[in-house]
Chains A and B, each alone.
Chain A
Amino acid sequence: MKTILNKYKILLLAGVLTFTYSCDDELDINPEDSLTEQSAFESEFGIRGVTTGLYGQAREVDALNGNRIAQSGIQSDELTFVGSFPTLADLFEYATQPTNTTTQELWDEAYEIINNANFLITKVPDVDIVNFTDAEKAQILGEAKFMRAWMYFEMSRVYAQPFQFDNGNNLCVPIVLNPFESGSSVEDFELPRSSLNEVHALIMQDLQDAIDNLSDGGNTRASSGAAKALKARLHLYREEWTQAATLADEVISSSEYEFEDDYSFFSLDPDERDSRLSAENIFVLANSATDGAYGGTGLHNFANPSPAGRGDIYYSDFLVTALESGVAAPGNTEGMDLRLVGISAIGADVNGVQQRFQNKVGPTGNDPLPLIRITEMYFIRAEANLRGGLSVGDTPLNDINLIRGRAGIVDLTTVTLDDILDERLKEFANEGHRRMDLLRNRRSLRQAGDPQFGDSAFGANLTIYPIPANQINANPALQGQQNPGY
């Protein structure tokens, strides 16, 4: 038997063993349906994909795609909630718990987008890719900073008391400027809350970088005009009237945008999608059926009448009364405020009761959603001029009457802050402005006599969201930093 143990067999065996050992390399397998944090930044297209992904992320219903509108609306005198979702019911009834999942969603989505933006902001300046020019890099950095600014801005509205509460010295949210990547330690991300002023300063800086880096024009992605518009809004929130009026005026006079004659930019006809991308919009989230409906239960479900929607959220009596009290201007054949026609409609709520619902967002969730419209710049210019005693661009009266004119109601002869806020309520119904318009003017979120009127007073604890309980659990630096009252 020994004879068969010849050198050939030994060679064969050695060969097989060598083959198997060489399989070691086979353990390095890369995914084929995702890029890794390395490979995503190795090509210009990869980097552009990450940049586009920022807007894709923003399409999440709990990021910028609507739920923040529903939530701020039901906290204020703008919208009424009759649905069964307990987390929304708690918000509506000023009974929100720190474990409320609805108030947590924005926190999660915002930091996800910020993380993605931080990847771009820290990596793109150093990448060395042929034909990827500095100008192109600057554009991408501008977009990333714009989206990062937006998400911090969005969080600063709900997790912190407004600037007026303590001149911005109150706590806002933690500022994170680095991506979570290989080599990162979770501990480095366990950061405490920064003050509202610090967060605002970061937003201002990011927006200024965006203004400097981005080109003008286009409204489905970040642009210099959109950055100016958002910055104008933040200056308004901070009562920095000169900057607010100047920036708003710059946007108005930039010729990139157009104050439309009617509300066709809210058309829900799928064949008229282009009109929803009209130049009325400074920045619009370009939802489409092709990119997929983003999330099942969002504003588009809640705020559309049954059966197409859930019929959970409709215009408050206060808002309906405000709209109905408008006196039709001569030539208005409808005989009422045109914002009662087309962009809002009567429909059945979840209990089958007829109510007035918004009609700006269709039930499919596939309609482009305006985030900033040129109309807001007129409002900002008017309010800043009025309150700052300025005269930038045009008079407050002209600006407000321009907006009233489109709504088919009679011109005002004089304009007060109340007139401006009242007009903003009607114009921006279901667009997510009302709550901050009240808070930054030190007003209650609800009208006297409404349920929870006391809880909704300026500076009251539950007018802002809790810091999510599990975020405090997971981050020692946040312990002891919960908002009062939670």
Chain B
Amino acid sequence: MRTKFSGILTLFLAFVVQFTFAQDKTVSGTVTDDKGLPLPGVNVVIQNTATGTQTDFDGNYTIQASRGAALSFSYVGFETKSVVIGDNDTINVQLSASASELEEVVIVGFGTTTEKKLIQSIGTIRTSAIEDIPAVTAQELLQGQTSGVQFTQSSGVLGAANVIRVRGVSSLNGGSQPLIVIDGVPLSDDVNTFNNGGNTGLNPLSDINPQDIESFSVLKDAAATAIWGSRGANGVILIKTKSGKPNTDTKVNAEVWTSFTDVTDLIDVLDAQQYAEYRFARGQAGASGGTPSVDALPTEGPDWTDLATRTGFSQNYNVSVQGGGEKTSFFLGTGYSQLEGGIIGNDLRRINGRVNLNHKANNWLDLGLNLSVTNTLNDRINTENTTFAPLTSSYLIRPFIQSRDEDGNFINNDFIQNVEAIEALQINQVESTRVIGNMNAVIKFTENLNYKASFGIDRTQIDNFTRVPELIDPSADGGTTPGGNARNFIANDNRIITDHTLNYNKTFDDIHTVSAVAGLTYQETTFNNIDVASQDFLSDDLRNVANGAVPTITSQSRAQRSLYGAFARVNYDFKSRYLLEGSFRRDGFSRFGVNNRFGNFYSVAAGWVVSEEEFMQQIEAISLLKLRASYGTSGNDRIGGSFPSLGLFGSAVPGLAATFNYNGSGGIAPTQPVNLDLTFEESTTLDVGLELGLFQNRINLNVGYFKKNTTDLLLARPITELTGFATVNENSGELENKGLEIGFNTKNVITDNFTWSTDFNISFIDTEVISLPGANDSPEGLFIEAAGARQRAIEGQSTNNFYLVRYVGVNPQTGDAEYLDRDGNVTTSPNFDTDRVIAGDALPDFFGGITNTFTYKNFDLSFLMSFTYGNDIFLDGLRFVGAPDRVGTFNQSVDVLDYWQQPGDVAKYPRLGSSTERLYRQSSTFQLKDGSFLRMRNLTFGYTLPESIFKNSKLFKKIRVYATGNNLFIIKGDDDLDGFDPEVTDDIDPLVQGETFFTAPQARQWLIGTRITF
């Protein structure tokens, strides 16, 4: 503190002295680039003043300045240089191309490299691209930022999981999310919560404060992922958190924002009046669900959709401090978020803290620590597809059903639950406490060789609690025995990891550079779950499980997994011009069958920096031209559970809440067939790429082509039931992803006051199933059908074909709905099994994002749009709200009022009472829509207070105020998609993509905030 004070004092004195004794003189000179060519438009500023000028067309400048002052020369794409004015009146400066472009550090697996020497396919997202995005979860920062990464937010429910696909789907029955590694700790991402409708679970990254993140590296090709061995095939996302720099002033960043959230895209359902009239109209037509008169039903009722949604108010606070002395540097961060979703009862509170420390103990020992602790309290709601989910129920409940009686007390008298009462009375929460940490020590043996040991931990405790009140779970016998139930599920997910690496780096004769890393890693994960539940509570005031008269679940279980790996990578480059790299990893994982417990993975890569060649030096326009190619393998270890290869005898019946116990005695039976050969899925990737920088890197192009073959695909192969099992998990299928990834960024305008830059990325990915040995046969080929029987992975086709009966429309003459049979003949009575054909694909043709950033003086404006094209989505919920003959049970969308009435009518729905009305209950292309969209993901307008304001204030260094809109609008590829958000998926299963029951749409958020640096 004292040191700091004296530092400030010295600075202050220097300022005074300078002010007092300044002696102006004229300084002039020429600014050139590293090839000696004059640079026009270079900013020349006297440091710590607002005085400055620019170089002219020939790179010349003239400025009045005083001896002893420093001149700063800055130009986009070049490193800023400062020169202290001495006796000389002429100061010529040569600027070198900026490190921020080519020398910028890229985090790779177990090491770093530079953009220039990078020959792996890695998408890096740095602070500059994300610092102005006020995000709540780390994954939001990945949206639309880099090619090859498809990001689908599963719903607008707070804390909901996201689907991240790096280079398409490379697994059918296994997991297909990428491995996420934070500061060297691979995160555990098993689902440890109740399923609350939909199969999406919670977001494993929601425990990371996005403000702590310095960069993401998305590892895509085998050159990058082979060193992650059996876990690399789905891609790897490396996250590095912020750190302090040695010998820098302490900088404090404080950020506050508040926001309002509402729900976009709600389905317009019938109100009580419309509902009564429609049912009367049905009665007149003799159709099912008809009533004899309009007033047969109450014509007033609550607006259930309105009751289920709200405007959420959220706040977020972040403070971080970073800096460093000679030996120790640090980053401290803390955050507090209090969020309200747009759907009632959906809140999330997160408190987190982080300490990142680096200490240089002496000339051979460096120590480091990264530690974060996060507590998240998520007030959950059921997501969808249950009568307990707010949005689902608000659509389906018949509009005359009341929420409260005359006295204002809640009532619950329909089979669709009163969601307003549920959210008012029921407890459904998850509290998680997560510690992620990593300690490391680096011992420098020689200048060229060091050893690094690290120990990491990822420990999560998740406490799920639900308490269903009497109103929702009433007495079963009319009031003698009480109702109500409670459940507490506590999951402990405890991972420890230790890594040991040796690093070698040496340049010989100034032209040969060799670097190598070799290491060992061991990881152990323990899951311990305690699950208790009871029912029959005397009063809703008795909250906990102990108070239920009848215990229904008393369970505790545990499983362990361990993984062990040895790895190495060698790089060689000749004059930074010819680059070679090879990597290898051997992994053993307890999950794999004992016959195939170990796997070997490798990659080779080569690059040629053409622009370094002599003959390229003449071509001014080209500042970088690099060609790269790689080939190699990696694996996917997500083949399910802890012991998927063993023949098991268990007590719990798979898929049922029952046991094999009998008459009070413990019973066990075979629950899983043995396959001791079961192991990882293996992906072999060929990757070629070209990087081009033009005009001092004002235009950058990065084009990559890849072909990724996944073999030993995990398949639940149907086997004869004579074995006692329907399927056995085997490694037998094969699929292929190939695609083109393009990243393009330009600095369109650079002038003194105004800049405009654009980042654009787009990916074309084609996924094809090569073989599915042992799968069931169909006219289209061997296939695997997903749960729900709407999607199939088919040999020679996509992994996610929609396999449906084709809907034609309502015949204007007859008023009946028409479909096509398998042969394409029009029919009004299709067979919903045998008339199915391939009718769509849940995978897009291409997707990407575009960011534009403008600055004008102190104003900045940026917007990020993301887009997806060519995928289909399936609106399962339409089978309920868009099925007219279900009106007696479920409310309907207002679209059902558009029914056929007389010949010639072009109507959406058939004649009331048509025998084809019931067909709308079945899955067909009627519910299949174009899922293409262009979304305004984020728009931020900011203003940074001019530095002149702080000239006399030592308290603040920078103040920025901003306003942001998230998900402001969306352009849908399908005209007929009112009420649905095309960016949906209610399942993270790779076989079921782009389906929604009534997934909550993405929230629209209006946000204002300020960031202060001092």
Q: Please give the residue numbers on chain A whose beta carbons come within 8 Å of chain B beta carbons, in ascending order.
A: 1-2, 4-5, 9, 13, 16-17, 20-21, 23-24, 26-37, 40, 46, 48-57, 59-60, 99, 107-108, 111-112, 114-116, 119, 174, 176, 179-182, 184, 186, 189-191, 220, 286, 288, 290-295, 468, 470-471, 473-475, 478
Contact between B642 and A23, CB atoms less than 8 A apart: no
- Contact B720 A471, beta carbon cutoff 8 Å: yes
Contact in complex: A107, B658 (CB < 8 Å): no
Pair B648/A56 contact, Cβ less than 8 Å:
no
Q: Does B17 contact A (CB under 8 A)?
A: no
**Cβ of B660 < 8 Å from any Cβ of A?**
yes
Binds A, one of B126-134, B308-316, B330-338, B670-678: B670-678
A114 contacts across to B, CB distance below 8 A: 724
Q: Which residues of A contact B650 (CB under 8 A)?
A: 33-35
The answer for the CA separation of A48 and B561 in the assembled complex, in Å, is 29
Q: Are B668 and A35 in contact (CB under 8 A)?
A: yes
B776, CB-defined interface residue at 8 Å: yes
Contact B643 A189 (CB under 8 A): no
Q: Which of A46, A474, A475 has the most CB of B within 10 A?
A: A474
Nearest residue, chain A, Cβ from B564: A23
Mask of B556-567 contacts with A, CB within 8 angstroms, 1/0: 011111111000
Asked if residues A295 and B658 are in contact (CB atoms below 8 Å), the reply is: yes
On whether the beta carbons of B562 and A23 are closer than 8 Å, the reply is: yes
What is the CA–CA distance of A51 and B443 in the complex, to the nearest angstrom? 60
Q: Contact check, B721 vs A34: say whether CB atoms are below 8 A apart.
A: no
B723 within 8 A of A: yes
Q: Are A49 and B557 in contact (CB under 8 A)?
A: no
Interface segment, one of B170-178, B320-328, B446-454, B1000-1008: B446-454
CB-based nearest A residue for B519: A20
Q: Are B451 and A13 interface neighbours, CB within 8 A? A: yes
Q: Does B833 contact A (CB under 8 A)?
A: yes
**Is B500 part of the binding interface, using a Cβ–Cβ cutoff of 8 Å?**
yes
**Contact at B660–A57, with CB atoms within 8 Å?**
yes
Complex Cα spacing A305 to B588, Å: 57
State the CA gap A358–B443 with chains docked (Å): 81
A-contact bits for B817-858, CB 8 A (1 contact / 0 none): 000000000000000010000000000000000000000000
Q: State whether B668 touches A9 (Cβ < 8 A).
A: no
Say yes or no for B657: interface residue by CB 8 A criterion. Answer: yes
Asked whether, in the complex, the Cβ of B522 is within 8 Å of the Cβ of A288, the reply is no
Partner of A37, one of B447, B649, B658: B649
A432-B986 Cα distance, complex, nearest whole Å: 42
Specify which of B562, B590, B668, B676 is in contact with A53 (CB 8 Å cutoff).
Answer: B668
Can you list 23 A-B contacts (CB < 8 A)? A17-B500, A17-B520, A20-B521, A27-B562, A27-B588, A29-B560, A29-B642, A32-B559, A37-B646, A37-B670, A49-B666, A52-B661, A52-B666, A56-B659, A56-B661, A111-B724, A112-B721, A116-B669, A186-B723, A290-B664, A291-B664, A474-B718, A474-B720
A54–B720 CB distance below 8 A: no
Instruction: Determine the distance from Cα of A49 to Cα of B665 in the docked complex, in whole angstroms.
Output: 8
CB-defined contacts of A220 to chain B, threshold 8 Å: 663
In the assembled complex, B245 has its CB within 8 A of some CB on chain A:
no
Closest A residue, CB atoms, query B673: A180
Question: Max chain B CB contacts within 10 Å: which of A13, A51, A54, A182?
Answer: A182
With contact pairs A29-B642, A186-B723, A286-B662 given, residues A53 and B669 touching in the complex (Cβ less than 8 Å): yes
Chain A residues whose CB sits within 8 angstroms of the CB of B673 once the complex forms: 180
B719 within 8 Å of A by Cβ? yes
A55 CA / B447 CA spacing, docked (Å): 71
Which label, helix, strand, loop or mixed, suits the secondary structure of the A interface?
A: helix
A-B contact sample (13 more), CB < 8 A, given A16-B500, A27-B589, A29-B561: A4-B364, A20-B521, A36-B648, A50-B669, A107-B721, A111-B724, A112-B724, A115-B725, A180-B674, A182-B676, A186-B720, A190-B722, A294-B658
Query: Known interface pairs A112-B670, A116-B670, A470-B718. Does A59 touch B647 (Cβ–Cβ under 8 Å)?
Result: no
Cross-chain contact A115 with B562 (CB below 8 angstroms): no
The reply to whether B447 and A184 contact each other, CB–CB distance below 8 Å, is no
Instruction: Determine how close the nearest CB of chain A comes to the CB of B662; give it in whole angstroms.
Output: 4
**What A residues does B564 contact at CB under 8 A?**
20, 23-24, 26-27
> Which chain A residues border B728 with CB–CB below 8 Å?
186
Residue of B498, B649, B724 near A34 (CB, 8 A) is B649
Contact of B649 among A35, A286, A290, A478 (CB under 8 A): A35
- B-to-A contact residues, CB < 8 Å: 363-364, 443-447, 451, 453, 498, 500, 520-522, 524, 557-564, 588-590, 594, 597, 642-643, 646-653, 656-674, 676, 718-726, 728, 776-777, 833
In the bound assembly, the distance between CA atoms of A486 and B646 in angstroms comes to 37
Asked if A475 contacts B720 (CB within 8 A), the reply is yes
Q: Are A31 and B720 interface neighbours, CB within 8 A? A: no
A36→B648 CA distance, assembly (Å) = 5
- Which chain A residue lies CB-closest to B362? A4
Known interface pairs A174-B722, A181-B647, A182-B647; A26-B524 also in contact (CB < 8 Å) = yes
CA A119 to CA B647, docked complex, whole Å: 12
Neighbour of B658 across the interface among A52, A119, A291, CB < 8 A:
A291
Q: Which residues of chain B have C-beta atoms less than 8 A from A174's C-beta?
A: 722
Contact B500 A295 (CB under 8 A): no
Chain A residues with Cβ under 8 A from B660's Cβ? 52-53, 56-57
Residue of A nearest to B833 (CB): A99
A52 touching B776 by the CB < 8 A rule? no
**How many Å from the CB of B415 to the closest CB on chain A?**
10
Q: Beyond A20-B522, A37-B649, is A186–B719 a contact (Cβ under 8 Å)?
A: yes
Residue among B500, B557, B662 with max Cβ neighbours from chain A (10 Å): B662
**A50 touching B649, Cβ below 8 Å:** yes
CA distance A31 to B527 in the complex (A): 12
Residues of chain A with a CB closer than 8 A to B656's CB? 292, 294-295
A108 touches B721 (CB 8 A): yes
B649 touches A36 (CB 8 A): yes
Chain A neighbourhood of B670, CB < 8 A: 37, 112, 115-116, 119, 180
Q: Which residues of A contact B364 (CB under 8 A)?
A: 1, 4
| Cβ 8 A contact of A52, one of B453, B500, B662, B672 | B662
Q: Which residues on A sit within 8 Å (CB–CB) of B776?
A: 470, 473
Looking at the assembled complex, report how far the CB atom of A290 sits from the nearest CB atom of chain B, in whole angstroms.
7
Q: Which of B363, B500, B670, B673 has the most CB of A within 10 A?
A: B670
A48 to B665, CA, bound (A): 9
Partner of A56, one of B524, B647, B669, B718: B669
CB distance from B276 to the nearest CB of A (A): 22
In the assembled complex, which residues on chain B have CB atoms less than 8 Å from the CB atom of A119?
670
**Most chain B beta-carbon neighbours within 10 Å: one of A33, A181, A286:** A33
Complex Cα–Cα for A46 and B650 (A): 11
Q: Give which listed residue, B646, B666, B723, contacts A115 with CB less than 8 A.
A: B723
Interchain CB contact (< 8 A) of B500 among A20, A34, A475:
A20
Q: Which residue of the partner chain, among B447, B520, B658, contacts A20 with CB atoms under 8 Å? A: B520
Of residues A53, A59, A189, which shows the largest number of chain B Cβ atoms within 10 Å of its Cβ? A53
Query: Which residues of B are found within 8 Å of A20, using beta-carbon distances?
Result: 498, 500, 520-522, 564
Contacting residues, chain B, for A5 (C-beta < 8 A): 445-446
Indicate if the CB atoms of B669 and A1 lie closer than 8 Å: no
What separation, in Å, do the CA atoms of A16 and B455 have in the docked complex? 12
Shortest beta-carbon distance from A306 to chain B in Å: 12
CB A400 to nearest CB in B, in angstroms, measures: 33
B443 near A9: Cβ-Cβ < 8 Å: yes
CA distance A26 to B658 in the complex (A): 33
Q: Shortest Cβ distance from A278 into chain B, in angstroms?
A: 15
- CB of A52 within 8 A of CB of B649, answer no
A473–B777 CB distance below 8 A: yes
Contact A189 B723 (CB under 8 A): yes
Nearest-neighbour CB distance to chain A for B665, whole angstroms, equals 5
Given contacts A33-B558, A36-B649, A37-B647, contact A292 B721 (CB under 8 A): no
**B647 lies within 8 A of A55 (CB):** no
Cβ contact within 8 Å between A32 and B562: no
B658 touching A190 by the CB < 8 A rule?
no
